[in-house]
Structure 1
Amino acid sequence: MSDERVVLVDEAGRAIGTEAKATVHHAATPLHLAFSSYVVDPAGRVLLTQRAFGKPTWPGVWTNSCCGHPLPDEPVEHAVRRRLADELGIVVESADLVLPEFRYRAEMPTGVVENEICPVYRVWWTGDPTPNPAEVAAYRWVEWHELREVPDLSPWCLLQLDELSSPPAEWPIADPNRLPPAAQV
């Protein structure tokens, strides 16, 4: 949606304004609030998605289950559940915060930059998703120990895996008070 806005943040993670999602990603992308989520089944497999080839950032790249941006004044956990439903047809009651302070900056070969404070969530779910083709080109369930072997993983996913070194069932639930101030709504 072209009028969707992302929350701009300062170095301390405090909200300092908003910008249209359609225009925020470029060579000098301002720091903004986002999220990543990992959908995990009872066997501990992780749902990976391939970003749609028409997406302006990282098209065709394999990544964690779902990424996105909370709307202004939207709790991040609500944004996670909203985007899982929109992108994958996955409806869940809750999402577990596992990396409240994750942050990264990555540059595409085209010069477009991702620059995000990006809390990470785990979601337990069983079944097969119903991907929105405008968001997801493909999906696959991957054993945790095989995840790093997947070619063409997004830079943020690789960085998150450095911090999520144990299997998903062992990820401790983080204190929401460690979220950046802009995410504490």
Structure 2
Amino acid sequence: MINMDDKGANELLILVDEEDNGIGFLDKVKVHQKGVLHRAFSVFIFNNAGELLLQRRALSKYHSPGLWSNTCCSHPRKGEGTLRACERRLQEEMGMSSDLKFAFSFTYRAEFENGLTEHEFDHVYLGYSQNLPNPDPCEVMDSKYISMDELQNNVLSRPEDYTEWLKICLPRVVQYLGIN
């Protein structure tokens, strides 16, 4: 169950159809209880060495607690553009900023042991930074830069340590970046 003390538990998320057209709004709790398709985003921040900044989700997160994931991910709020939402959440979660570039979108559905479902039309943005993050401990329990080769090997050998959306999205990021 979603912790009602969770920041943003009552935020209105943007419901979308299969083409990402907005079709309404619903609060975050109901969206994840019902598994309704909604707009989301995932941010991937790289350093000059080509390493990806990962975050380990705080244990207090309402799903996927303690799992490693991409740099930042969340949902735009009602009336908020996706790029602006990416910038906001990157600052809120990781205490950093970066110029972000849209890469691609994908849709996925994942059911969790606690009965919640993520069903997202996910917009992926990439950025670069040499800065170390200053994560919010309510959001992130750890972070690290990792090479893409090491990450891909780790995801294959220990998939249970990573979020569902990262496992789905990672091959597409690799393809987008032209990494072998």
Sort the Cα spacing of 1:14 and 1:167 in 2 relative to 1 into closer, same or farther, 3 A: closer
Deviation for aligned residue 1:109: 2.2
Q: Secondary structure at the match of 2:174?
A: coil
Aligned pair count reads 167
User: Which ranges of structure 2 fall in alignment gaps of 5 or more residues?
Assistant: 1-7
- Given candidates 111, 120, 134, the residue that maps to 1:130 is 134
* Alignment partners' CA distance in 2, 1:167 and 1:89: 26
Structure number with higher strand proportion: 2
> What CA deviation, in whole Å up to 9, does each residue of 1:75-115 have, x standing for no partner?
211111100000111022x211111x211111112332100
Match of 1:19 among 23, 26, 33: 26
The residue identity in structure 2 corresponding to 1:95 is: L
Matches within 5 A, 1:36-185: 36-92=42-98, 94-99=99-104, 101-150=105-154, 151=158, 152-166=161-175, 168=177, 170=178
- CA, structure 1 residues 155+2, in 2 after alignment: closer, same or farther (shift >3 Å)? closer
2:74, 2:89 within 8 Å by CA — same for their partners in 1?
Answer: yes
Q: CA-to-partner distance for each residue in 1:45-92, whole Å, 9 max, x for gaps?
A: 000101111011211111100001011221211111100000111022
Residue 14 to residue 49, structure 1, CA distance change in 2 (3 Å):
same
Tell me how far apart the structure 2 counterparts of residues 166 and 65 of structure 1 sit (CA, whole Å): 18
Q: Which runs of 4+ in 1 moved over 3 A?
A: none
Query: How large is the RMSD of aligned CA atoms in angstroms?
Result: 1.7
TM-score when normalising by structure 1: 0.84
5+ residue gaps in structure 1?
172-185
